[in-house]
Amino acid sequence: SQRRVMLRSLSKCLRTNPVGVQRNMSQSSLAGKVAIVTASTDGIGLAAAQALGKRGAHVVVSSRKQTNVDKAVALLQGQNIQVTGTTCNVGEGKEREKLVQMTLEKCGGIDILVSNAAVNPFFGNIMDSTEDVWDKILSVNVKSSFLMTKLVVPHMEKRGGGNVVFVSSVAGYQPMQALGPYSVSKTALLGLTRALAPDLAQSNIRVNCVAPGVIKTRFSSALWQNEDIMDEFKKQLSIKRIGEPEEIGGVIAFLCSDEASYITGETITVTGGINCRL
Ligand code: NAP
């Protein structure tokens, strides 16, 4: 019968083309890759640099303050990670260019960009936020993420491809009270991820995003240092604790690895189960 013919040809095809493509551990290795992580001397950026470095990438760490850069470089070197550091305020065009030039000079190319820097100069009722607040937040959180990408893409193309990961927030899906403008900037990164993915796929560059929930860093300390706020907040969580920076770093490294080779234009929420989207 037709069915038997189909089954026979299917089983023949399976024998010649085993479905479970042999994946060995080396496919999750990032040896030989060069990774720029912005705002990477503390918190999630530092954890991302650590996760990429542990998988063999040469990581380039940066932030505004030289003392923070020196500390991060020493910490990563102590973990046998190949690391280079420089100052870079991502809000300044000249400093973004310096970061890229230094990376090319010291590491010979660029394969990975993790755009992690963000500011939040405003807490309060969104209707009280000023033009200066919006300029600052959109400039650092959104515009510089795009402009960093634009700077590195030609160099990724020279290597035959690459990976970009943006760091958004759960607040990008569900705006947080008192963090209106910041939340909107994080929503914009979800859009930026989608806007870039089809174009850059032609250059074999994947563009993805992570949206962390509340992670234990200095940035979120106002939240987790207040027990009342935390008790209330934990009601939204399935996993009843706040996250650690390493729990974001690992997901970022996964997105940059070959194991994620069919993922682009995607945002992974890493929130301990906050209900923010289907
Ligand atoms: P963090 O621990 O406070 O670290 C911030 C890092 O950014 C530091 O290394 C800081 O170093 C650097 N930095 C600040 N402004 C910068 C600028 N203009 N240019 C370059 N570097 C700058 O913060 P984090 O919590 O890891 O936050 C990192 C990212 O995760 C942000 O995009 C944030 O929106 C996002 N996020 C965080 C949480 C959370 O709960 N923590 C949740 C969702 C999303 P210098 O002071 O030396 O510049």
Nearest CA to ligand 1 atom 32: 118
Number of folded domains that form the chain:
1
Q: Is residue 187 part of a domain?
A: yes
Tell me, yes or no, whether 204 lies in a domain. Answer: yes
Single pTM value for the model: 0.92
Res. 23: pLDDT tops 90: no
Distance from residue 64's CA to the centre of ligand 1 (Å): 11
Output the CA 43–ligand 1 centroid distance in Å. Answer: 7
The span from the CA of 69 to the CA of 84, in Å, is: 9
Q: Provide the CATH number for the domain around residue 121.
A: 3.40.50.720
- The answer as to whether 88 is a domain residue is yes
Mean pLDDT along residues 117-136: 98
pLDDT score recorded for residue 278: 87
Contact 176, 183 (CB under 8 A): yes
Cβ–Cβ contacts within 10 Å for residue 216, how many?
16
Range of the domain at 140: 34-215+244-270
Predicted local confidence at residue 251, as pLDDT: 98
- Domain membership of residue 93 (yes or no) is yes
> What is the rounded average pLDDT of the residues 65-86?
98
Tell me what percent of the residues of the chain surpass a pLDDT of 70: 90
> Ligand 1 pocket, 85 CB below 6 A?
no
CA-based max dimension of the chain: 75
pLDDT tops 70 at residue 14: no
- Is 40 a domain residue? yes
Of 1-5, 161-165, 171-175, 185-189, least confident by mean pLDDT is 1-5
**Local confidence band at 2 (pLDDT 50, 70, 90 cut-offs):** low
117 within ligand 1 shell (Cβ under 6 A): yes
Q: Average pLDDT over the chain, rounded to whole?
A: 93
The encoded tokens of residue 121 equal 């100069």
Q: Is 41 in the pocket of ligand 1 (CB under 6 A)?
A: yes
Mean pLDDT value of segment 112-121: 98
pLDDT score of 26 more than 70: no
Q: Ligand 1: does its nearest atom lie under 6 Å from the Cβ of 110?
A: no
173 is a catalytic site residue: no
Instruction: Note whether residue 151 is domain-resident.
Output: yes
State yes or no: pLDDT of 8 exceeds 90: no
Residue 227 covered by a domain: no
Q: Find the 117 Cα to ligand 1 centroid distance in Å.
A: 5
| Active-site residue, from 141, 182, 190, 269 | 182
Segment 89-97 mean pLDDT: 98
Does residue 13 have a pLDDT over 50?
A: no
Give yes or no for residue 169 CB within 6 A of ligand 1. yes
Which of 63, 97, 100 gets mutated to test ligand 1 (max ligand atoms within 8 A of its CB)? 63
Whether the pLDDT of residue 21 is over 50: the answer is: no
